Structure 1
Amino acid sequence: MRTGVGRWWRIPAQTTVLLVAVALGIVLTVDHRPPAGGDGRPAVAAPALAGTTLTGEPFDLAAARGDVVLVNVFASWCGPCRDELPLLAEITRDWSPRGLQVVGLNLRDGPDAVRALLRETRADALTVLPDPDGVRAVEWGVRGVPETFLVDRDGRIVARRNGVITRPWLEAKVSPLLEPA
């Protein structure tokens, strides 16, 4: 004769299986990746970047809030850096009316070498902060040159590019941030 005890055991077991399935479904459908600018890194506050530019003007990244800022670390002795400077000069001209600032962080050069490089590459209108001893580059976590950081309107690094930037990278990463909010 059956007493019905087996049926009572089945109900909690079925409920447990159902709850586990629901929980698993939630875990698998929620996006657990950190918010990022598309390069897989989470957006983080940009380190301070301030000083006197190559032309003697003051620059402070904190004062650039509200604009998108591309910080490009380069050196005169870097061949790939030389190759990307004309593109940086071009996007500065074309995209600055849309809220883009391009800032070069020049690593371990003298001012004469930097000025000569900028003239040769027709990029002498770029805003350039000298970093003769590399301290600023270390603060930004630079691993090599060229390296570029994309800072959004809120002052967060949302993308980073090790190596030469390209027009497709700029179109994919920078251009969407320049769209009206």
Structure 2
Amino acid sequence: MSRPARAWWRRIRPVPAAILLLTLGLGGVVTAYRNGPVDNRPSPVVAAPALTGTTLDGARFDLAALHGQVVLVNVFASWCGPCRDELPLLAETARRWSPNGLRVVGLNLRDGPDAVRALLQEARAGDALTVLPDPDGARAIEWGVRGVPETYLVDRDGRIVAHQPGVVTRQWLDDRLSPLLAAP
């Protein structure tokens, strides 16, 4: 005589099933957290933290001195693949919008100067971006950076009006820069 077929759910082992469900659930939470809010509500407008130091070219930099300009602060690293991919778009954006008052600042996280210079040359971005090294990540922490790349848009009054964790797109940039940089 054959044994009756057991229900499929009785064949599932509890410990592996619990681990699988926990992993899937945690993955969903991490993905949702990294991608930001689903409802696309704007982030609250807050004053930009201080950002000062010596640029990759040896010049003195102070974000507060750029009051009256729109500043795009992009946190990147040469060892970050998505950062490398978006750098040409950021350089193109800087060239396109700089006559309207845009300044693109790259906050370079935990890189040496040679690696950054090589990346800027590869992306043909050296003349378009102001790069501020952050070798120990202290400035990035002050800005609340959780990963790279991350981009912050600072308005003419020094307030963060947009934040993009992850890669920016041409559409994201155009949608946020156009209203801030439209000719008067």
CA distance in 1: counterparts of 2:41 and 2:104, whole angstroms: 20
Shift of 1:59: 1.1
Superposition CA RMSD, Å: 1.1
Deviations 1:20-50 (A, max 9, x none): xxxxxxxxxxxxxxxxxx7521100000001
CA distance in 2: counterparts of 1:40 and 1:101, whole angstroms: 22
Listed as ranges, the matches of 1:60-71 within 5 Å are 60-71=62-73
Matched residue type, 1:173: R
Is 1:144 the counterpart of 2:139 in the alignment? no
Is 1:161 the counterpart of 2:154 in the alignment? no
Listed as ranges, the matches of 1:26-175 within 5 Å are 39-125=41-127, 126-175=129-178
Runs of 4+ aligned residues of structure 1 deviating over 6 Å after TM superposition are none
Matched residue type, 2:42: G
Q: How many residues align?
A: 144
CA distance in 2: counterparts of 1:160 and 1:102, whole angstroms: 14
Matched residue type, 1:80: P
CA distance in 1: counterparts of 2:41 and 2:59, whole angstroms: 33
Shift of 1:122: 0.8
Deviations 1:109-128 (A, max 9, x none): 00001001111111111110
CA distance in 2: counterparts of 1:39 and 1:175, whole angstroms: 19
Matched residue type, 2:166: G
Runs of 5+ unmatched residues, structure 2: 1-39
CA distance in 2: counterparts of 1:110 and 1:56, whole angstroms: 14
Q: Structure 1-normalised TM-score?
A: 0.77
Identity percentage of aligned residues: 75
Deviations 1:57-87 (A, max 9, x none): 1111000000000000000000000001101
Q: Rate the CA distance shift 1:133–1:39 in 2: closer, same or farther, 3 A.
A: farther
CA distance in 2: counterparts of 1:49 and 1:148, whole angstroms: 14
CA distance in 1: counterparts of 2:154 and 2:162, whole angstroms: 7
Runs of 5+ unmatched residues, structure 1: 1-37
